[in-house]
Amino acid sequence: MKDVIFIDDENDIRIAIEQSFELEDISANFYASAEDALLAIKADGLPKVVITDICLPGLNGENVLSSILNQDADIPVILITGHGDISMAVKALRNGAYDFIEKPFPIERLIDTTRRALEKRELMLENQALKKDLKASQVLGPRIIGETTTIQNLRSTINHIADTNADILLFGETGTGKELFARSIHEQSSRRDANFVAINCGAVPENLIESELYGHEKGAFTGADSKRIGKFEHASGGTLFLDEIESMPMQAQIRLLRVLQERHIERIGSNTLIPIDIRVIAATKVDLKQAAAEGTFREDLYYRLNVVTLDLPALRHRKDDIPALFHHFLLVAASRYGKAANALPETDLQRLMCHDWPGNVRELRNSAERFVLLGNLSHLDTNQATPSTAPLPLQVAEFEKALIEQTLAGCDGKINETIDVLQIARKTLYDKMQKYGIDKSRFKN
């Protein structure tokens, strides 16, 4: 089924509209009767938009509206009316029609209305899919978004190591997405059906860290009124994520080293060894090798954890990924708050690209939420952005590439819509896409 179904019993109108839609890159099927259109829908499924004349032989436009909305109340139905059908069209609007267009009409009016209806439907479908994905997040792994060389290399490395039992060390600034990478590794592995357990070592009081990790028996210490299963035992068969491991007390590091080597734990207050089948992913924002040299982190534990180290880049070092990341967070925020995910104005895109992002991806996500709620990014301070050492032409090229990719993403990869938004010639757009290696198919749903 194509995006649009157009129903009109006048052959000349169908031919004219078909030619116009082809020029505008709008995919549509054309029918002379409501009966034929409804049979096609029954066989092939619902389109994104339905356009129908009200006065038709047999079933009329009102019958089409009722049938479509009974199947999906959110599909935009546009009615074409003669002068004498205006009252009928107004009644149809009250019954759920998207809009009506009075004959005779300029083709630009129909194309503009159709595009707006398609955008509404596509956004609704995207939000519905996103809500479904969010509900199924325990099954569908988090996406690592980005096409910069660093991110592509990270994805490639994860593909190689995800389904092994190797322990992994993640190194990156605060907000670079260390837990997301850890979850992605877990959910690409054969351990995906078992628990992913996360603990922030810096958030647990020193006197409770071992109880949190290994559990305790009833009566092991004052206040231990019942047996407790620790994070290691709870994660057995799956993955344990130790965030801010540099904050772990030295005594706890000693016991952790032994557990990683032997793959057994003992609950506090017990002498029974409990075997664990576990993968450990540790994360840190400091150089553990340097910390070991300074005596604040055990050197032997560092080398035990450092089987595979993934260096996560700061957002300021992967600015080409900002438009795609922001678009993703925009959709998540729109779904969460029940609001529309409006297109980002060029001035705000420039703010995104010029900002230094000290809070990294976490700060970008918060900015997307603010944009959904308030409609602007005026809170971003672009004056404090780190001056780029790249030549001006290179900076301009990077911004131009990001703007084209962001516009293509917003237009679902449709060239005609992208041309209209950017207000450039088709050949110019194609030349720039070839120059920057942009593939429009990446932006299609």
Scanning 375-425, the segments in alpha helix (DSSP H) are 392-410, 415-422
- Token readout for 26 is 């709008």
Within a domain: residue 218?
A: yes
Q: Which residues contact 25 (CB under 8 A, 6 or more apart)?
A: 414, 415, 416, 417
- The set of residues, in sequence order, having a beta carbon less than 8 Å from that of 427 and lying 6+ positions away, is none
**Cα 55 to Cα 41: distance, rounded to the nearest angstrom:** 20
The tally of CA atoms less than 13 A away on the side-chain side of residue 395 is 10
Q: Please indicate, yes or no, whether residues 369 and 356 belong to a single structural domain of this protein.
A: yes
CA dist., res. 336 & res. 99, Å (int)? 28
Whether omega for the bond prior to residue 104 falls within 30 degrees of 0, making it cis, is yes
Do 66 and 92 lie in one domain? The reply is yes
Half-sphere exposure at residue 2, Cβ-oriented, CA atoms within 13 angstroms:
16
Domain count across the chain: 3
Is 30 within 8 Å of 102 (Cβ atoms)? Answer: no
With respect to residue 153, please indicate whether it lies within any of the assigned structural domains: yes
Range of the domain at 177: 149-313
pLDDT of residue 141: 43
Say whether both 174 and 309 belong to one domain: yes
Per DSSP, the residues of 286-345 read S-HHHHHHTTSS-HHHHHHHTTEEEEPPPGGG-GGGHHHHHHHHHHHHHHHHT---PPPP
* 294 Cβ contact list (under 8 Å, min separation 6): none
- How many Cβ atoms sit within 10 Å of the Cβ of residue 317? 14
Question: Quick check: 373 and 330 in contact, CB under 8 A?
Answer: no
Residue 239: inside a domain? yes
The answer to whether position 60 is within a domain reads yes
Residue 169 in domain: yes
Q: Are residues 261 and 199 in the same domain?
A: yes
Q: Calculate ∠ Cα 43-46-49, nearest 5°.
A: 140
Same domain membership, residue 129 and residue 10: yes
Shortest CA distance to 24 belongs to which of 103, 112, 102, 101? 112
On whether the CB atoms of residues 416 and 430 are closer than 8 A, the answer is no
Cβ atoms 10, 401 nearer than 8 A: no
Same domain, 295 and 409: no
Look at residue 144 and tell me if it is in a domain. no
In a domain, 143, yes or no: no
Question: Which residues, given as ranges, of the chain have pLDDT below 70?
Answer: 84, 129-143, 381-395, 442-445
Same domain? For 162 and 309 the reply is yes
| Two structure tokens written together for 97 | 């029609």
Residue pair 422/404 in contact (Cβ under 8 Å)? The answer is yes
Residues 275 and 393 placed together within one structural domain of the fold: no
pLDDT in tens, 297-325: 999 999 999 889 999 999 999 988 898 88
Distance CA 52, CA 79 (A): 5
Q: Is 244 left (phi over 0), alpha (psi -120 to 50) or beta?
A: left
- Among 293, 313, 333, residue at a domain's last position: 313
pLDDT for res 348 = 81
Among 135, 162, 188, the domain boundary falls at 135
Neighbouring-strand partners of residue 283: 170
Tell whether pTM > 0.85. no
271 and 325 in a single domain? The answer is no
Last residue of a domain, one of 79, 101, 135: 135
**CA-wise closest residue to 128 among 329, 334, 327:** 334
Spatial contact of 194 and 332, defined as CB atoms under 8 Å apart? no
Q: What is the DSSP letter of 268?
A: B
Whether 128 and 158 map to the same domain: the answer is no
Specify the pLDDT at position 383: 53
Residues 324 and 417 in one domain: yes
Phi/psi at 267 (5° precision): -65, 150
In a domain, 75, yes or no: yes
Task: Return the number of other C-beta atoms located less than 10 Å from residue 73's C-beta.
Answer: 8
Nearest to 177 by CA among 212, 197, 203, 151: 151
The pLDDT, as a whole number, for residue 273 is 94
Let me know if 106 is exposed, middle or buried by CB neighbors in 10 A (0-12, 13-18, 19+): exposed
| Residue 44 and residue 127 in one domain | yes
Q: Give the CATH number, domain containing residue 238.
A: 3.40.50.300
pLDDT at 384: 47
- Residue 46 belongs to domain with CATH number: 3.40.50.2300
